[in-house]
A and B are shown apart, each in its own frame.
Chain A
């Protein structure tokens, strides 16, 4: 158990509304990630963070923004949700000395 909590776990929202997903970790890991999982695409990196206020884009960052004001929290925001952003979103952390990535339980987002 890597101590990762995602909220909300399930959300239905309307097109055009803003949505924020929260990832909370309890073990002060430096690296945090947001991935989305879609059929036929596997897991694709949206954004990642390598420290407080230090973030960078992944391969599918358009339409998403992130913030990390505290070590333990990494927020993913959809500024104006679209149906193409219907997906399962996974937060993850990286264990530096083990060079391994561990995942939260996922957040199911449906944009109608």
Chain B
């Protein structure tokens, strides 16, 4: 099984500021997919952003962007102009290109301070 590590159990950010959530993964594969999911208090799992490993360009979705460092096996999520609605648990996930299993980190709980 692949290992996905989120080393920050909790993070906080001031409203309108920028925060970066860290994720590292362990794999011997060269082609795979990486994801960030958001889980608000409702517990609904919401896809935030997705990155294909073969693409060098970092994915961006509005205020959310990633810093994908393939050699370092690092996949961090940057949230710009943080809003109160960004408060949630964030999960990093990995999927191999050869299989259909998805592996998740343990999550980072983000608090947004007004």
Contact = CB atoms under 8 A, between A and B. Distances in A.
A42 B101 contact: no
Contact of A42 (B1, B33, B105): B105
A25 to B, nearest CB: 15
A102 B47 CA distance: 8
Contacts of B1: 59
Main secondary structure of the interface of A (DSSP, over half): strand
Nearest to A48: B101
A29 B8 CA distance: 34
A42 B104 contact: yes
A99 B101 contact: no
Contact of A31 (B35, B47, B100): B100
Contacts of B44: 103, 105-106
B19 to A, nearest CB: 20
20 contacts: A31-B100, A40-B106, A42-B6, A42-B91, A42-B105, A42-B106, A42-B107, A43-B91, A45-B102, A45-B103, A48-B101, A59-B1, A92-B45, A99-B50, A99-B97, A101-B95, A102-B45, A102-B47, A103-B45, A106-B44
